[in-house]
Amino acid sequence: AEFTHLVVVKFKEEVVVEDIIKGLEELVSQVDIVKSFVWGKDIESMEMLRQGFTHAFMMTFGSKDDFTAFQTHPNHMQFSATFSAAIEKIVLLDFPVVAFKTPQ
């Protein structure tokens, strides 16, 4: 089954978010086991519901084993330090995909 890595973050004030996103795009381009990568910035939620979180990043892998391999990939290990330093708050969810309705 596919496996998803979902990251929801609030970046530190001084962070140039575009640089972090560019780094993520480079990372997933270099690591073939990442099946898909999507991201977005919240533009609709009320602040009280958002709790300061602004961006969501989602990577999909073919299996949990692929995700595990990604976690220890040298490129991921290197970028993780940069990403972690930019984060004020973070929520991570890693889960097998349960598809109910898929894109047509």
Per the CB < 8 A criterion, the answer to whether 62 and 6 are in contact is no
Looking at the predicted structure, is the pLDDT value of residue 49 above 90?
Answer: no
The mean pLDDT of the chain is 95
Q: What is the pLDDT of residues 5-44, one digit of tens each?
A: 999 999 999 999 999 999 999 999 999 999 999 999 999 9
Q: What is the pTM of this model?
A: 0.92
Q: Give the pLDDT confidence score for residue 19 in this predicted structure.
A: 97
Residues contacting 57, CB < 8 A, separation 6+: 6, 7, 8, 9, 24, 37, 38, 39
